[in-house]
Amino acid sequence: MPSTTNPFIRVVNGMNGLPQRPLAQTPMTFRQKLYRKRMAALTVTMHQVLEQVGALLEPGETLVNMLPMTNEANSAAATDGLMGMYGVKTEQARDYVTTQASLRGNRLMVFTDRRIIFFIVIEFLDDSQAYYSYPYSALDWVMLRADPAPGAAGQAMINPYTLDFETADRHVFTEFLTPENAQMFKENLLRIPAMANIRLSDHVHRRRRWDQFASNLDFQLAFASKGFWLLLVFFILVAIWGYLAH
Amino acid sequence: MDDDEIVARLKAQDERAFDGLIDRYGAFIRQVIWHQVRSEAMRAYTEDIENRVYYKVWANAAQFDPARGQFKQWLGSLVKHQTIDYVRGLKGTLATLDIDNIALAAPEPAADVSLTQYFAVLSPTEKQVFELFFADGRTPEEISQQLKMRVAAVYKHLSRGRAKIRRWF
């Protein structure tokens, strides 16, 4: 669900041509005006971002749509870095930090008719080469799995999706998607011809067996949750054995 | 912040100009948009129209000449024309953001974005799987339970079906 303070998802969804919920006809409150100002400033930033993306496109390559991700809606695991710190380098990135009060949280997955371009907005503003490019031809398998998670009391289950893939040159990408993100990804699988040969799966695929464990966040998280309890049971048994032995 | 200060900040590309612009003219901008956009369906795009207006004001502030009229008149004219363009279907989102060489395959405001047009080439079973997965947003596990098939079979239908669609479209 979009944040009430971070307008990134709403701005990008607007650019994608997605309608938003109808606005009230009452005058804007102080908080709404503040949010509006952030939206306006972010729109200016996104134009700069899109100019930089435009410079990356090959002749004839076209942009299809953009999938916005934020720490609030998705996950901070992949982007917050060491204590969530990042040192800005350029004036436009400094303005972005000041206006949006956001460091590494906003990231964008851009779908063209040939590839996925992924970057963290603030890093990309500072350095137009700070992005990852995943041609569809380099993707054999994509894991797009819904992991039902309990919602708040009285609410329906929420289904955060895990997206994972490895490219032909062994770059691994893992991200947690909201249901809206996942629906956009699914629609792109249908609408973008170059994605037609990508196979869908509910588990991680790696080209090397070792990477199935070492480069598999899905496995590591599962091990951390189940493995923790196994270790706990083990130590309890050891403690009981030690007590009985003495 | 008065008009002169707003204009000065806009021309200096100072984002604090938005503070004054929205405080002073936020409601006015929305009124002008809603005067052009009457239906509830189109008003769902108000935020995107406003974002484009604010960007146009930012990008074209240097063109405002106080000798030719007041800022509010210039602003109102810009908002009106931006909204009219949007309603006419020129919103093509990125295609009209003054960025060359980028095209966005975004649907028209009232266009049918149904995915079922792609399903015509599929077998009945594939069509069921596709409708549940893409249109209804069901997970493969839910689909396998509903259609009484293994999860692996669901994924196989998705892969084969997409290959068929690619051959036809």
**Interior CA angle at A197 toward A196 and A198, to 5°?**
95
Kindly provide the b/e burial profile for residues B9-39, where b requires at least 16 CB atoms within 10 angstroms of the residue's own CB.
bbeeeebbbbbbbbbbbbeebbebbbebbee
Residue found under tokens 């091990």: A223
For testing contact with chain A, the best of B162, B165, B169 (most A CBs within 10 A): B162
**Residue of B18, B94, B158 lying closest to A37 (CB–CB):** B18
Residue B97 has pLDDT above 50, yes or no: no
- Chain B residue numbers with beta carbons less than 8 Å from the beta carbon of A202 are 140-141, 151, 155
- Output DSSP code: residue A106: -
Cα A149 from Cα A158, distance rounded (Å): 5
Does the distance separating the beta carbons of A33 and B26 come in below 8 Å?
A: yes
Q: How far apart are CA B80 and CA B32, in angstroms?
A: 6
Q: Confidence band (pLDDT; 50, 70, 90) for A53? A: very high
**Contact partners, residue B123, CB within 8 Å, separation at least 6:** none
Q: B125-157: per-residue pLDDT in tens?
A: 999 999 888 888 788 888 999 999 999 899 999
Domains of chain A: 8-215 (2.30.29.30)
Inspect the interface and report whether the beta carbons of A54 and B101 lie closer than 8 Å. yes
Which residues in chain A have Cβ-Cβ distances shorter than 8 Å to B140? Answer: 202
pLDDT higher than threshold 90 for residue B50? yes
Q: Are B139 and A197 within 8 A, CB to CB?
A: no
Q: Which residues of A touch B141 (CB under 8 A)?
A: 146, 202
Please judge whether B18 and A193 are an interchain contact, meaning their C-beta atoms are less than 8 angstroms apart. Answer: no
pLDDT band, residue A86 (cuts 50/70/90): low
- Encoded tokens for A204: 């991680």
Token pair in block for residue B31: 């009124």
Query: What span, in angstroms and rounded, lies between the C-alpha atoms of A211 and A217?
Result: 10
Judging by beta carbons within 10 Å of its beta carbon (0-12, 13-18, 19+), is residue A235 exposed, middle or buried? exposed
- The mean per-residue pLDDT over the stretch B46-67 comes to 90
Average of pLDDT values for A2-9? 74
Q: How many CB pairs under 8 A join A and B?
A: 141
Q: Which two tokens stand for residue B33?
A: 């948009």
| Residue type at B141 in one-letter notation | E
Q: How confident is the model at residue A97 (pLDDT cuts 50, 70, 90)?
A: low
Q: A62 and B141 in contact by Cβ < 8 A?
A: no
Triad A151, A155, A161: Cα angle to 5°: 40
| pLDDT for res A20 | 75
pLDDT value of residue A221:
65
Say yes or no to pLDDT of B93 above 60. Answer: no
For residue B94, give how far its alpha carbon lies from the nearest alpha carbon of chain A (Å): 7
| pLDDT, average across residues A32-43 | 90
Q: How many residues are given for chain A?
A: 246
Which of B15, B51, B162 shows the shortest C-beta gap to A99? B15
Residue among A10, A21, A189 whose CB faces B162 most closely: A189
Q: Which of A4, A35, A37 to mutate to test the interface with B (most CBs of B within 10 A)?
A: A37
Q: How far apart are the first and last CA of chain B?
A: 55
Please state which of the ranges A52-66, A152-166, A197-211, B26-40 shows the lowest mean pLDDT: A152-166
- How far is it, in rounded angstroms, from Cα B31 to Cα A9? 24
Residues of chain B contacting A50 with CB distance shorter than 8 Å: 94, 97, 99, 102
Q: Which of A44, A50, A61, A203 to mutate to test the interface with B (most CBs of B within 10 A)?
A: A44
Inspect the interface and report whether the beta carbons of B165 and A202 lie closer than 8 Å. no
Distance from CA of A109 to the nearest CA of B (A): 14
pLDDT value of residue A84: 46
pLDDT confidence bin for B71, thresholds 50/70/90: very high
Cα–Cα distance between B111 and B88 in angstroms, integer? Answer: 13
Nearest chain B residue to A48 by CA: give it.
B99
pTM of the model: 0.75
Altogether, the residues listed in chain B come to a count of 169
What is the Cβ-side half-sphere exposure of residue B162, based on CA atoms within 13 angstroms?
22
| Cβ <8 Å between B151 and A41 | no
Are B15 and A27 a contacting pair at CB < 8 A?
no
Name the residue of chain B whose CA is nearest to A184's CA: B134
Would the CB atoms of A41 and B48 count as touching at under 8 Å?
A: no
Q: What is the DSSP track for A20-89? A: -PPPPSSPP-HHHHHHHHHHHHHHHHHHHHHHHHHHHPPTT--EEEEEEE-TTTS-STTT-TGGG-----
Q: ipTM for the complex?
A: 0.72
The dihedrals phi and psi of A101, each to the nearest 5 degrees, come to 50, 40
Beta-carbon contacts of A8 under 8 Å, excluding residues fewer than 6 positions away, are: A42, A68, A70, A100, A102, A106, A121
User: What is the CB-side half-sphere exposure of residue A192 using CA atoms within 13 A?
Assistant: 28
Task: Report the pLDDT value the prediction gives residue B42, as an integer from 0 to 100.
Answer: 83
Chain B residues within an 8 Å CB radius of A95:
15
Q: How far is A72 from chain B (nearest CA, A)?
A: 21
The model's confidence at residue B92, banded by pLDDT at 50, 70 and 90, is very low
Identify any residues that bridge with A141 across adjacent strands, giving them in sequence order: A199
Angle value at C-alpha B17, between A32 and A125, nearest 5 degrees = 85
CA distance linking residue B100 with residue A174, whole number of Å: 32
